[in-house]
Amino acid sequence: MIDPATFHCQRCGACCRVPGYVALAAGEPEAIAAYLGLDVYAFTERFTALTFNRHDLSLIEGEDGRCIFLQDDNTCRIQPVKPAQCQGFPFLWRSKRLEKECAALRQV
């Protein structure tokens, strides 16, 4: 596990560019929709897709595979209400691919 005291995010955006699910937990679609000023149905229609299990929602990706909410300056458009999965990185999860791409993970 990574020690939060020694990890220093470089704001490279690598964690938001790796293709894969950003699964939404209960209440997260409603919180993100409210933050964006959208009705929850409009939010889910525009920004989510069903996962393979056809039960959970995931944020969609941009054409280049990055998170739909990653902005050009590598900041998160929904930072105050970002999903728990995103909040947990890199302290609760990480992948081999991210370890190769994220300079901050290589320094830990």
Q: 54 versus 25: which is more confidently predicted?
A: 25
Q: What percent of the chain has pLDDT over 70?
A: 75
Token duo for residue 41: 């149905």
What residues have CB less than 8 Å from 23, skipping those under 6 apart?
Answer: 51, 56, 57, 58, 83, 85
pTM of the model as a whole: 0.81
Instruction: Summarize pLDDT for 1-27 with one digit per residue, the tens.
Output: 666 666 667 777 888 887 778 999 999
Q: Given this model, what pLDDT does residue 7 score?
A: 67
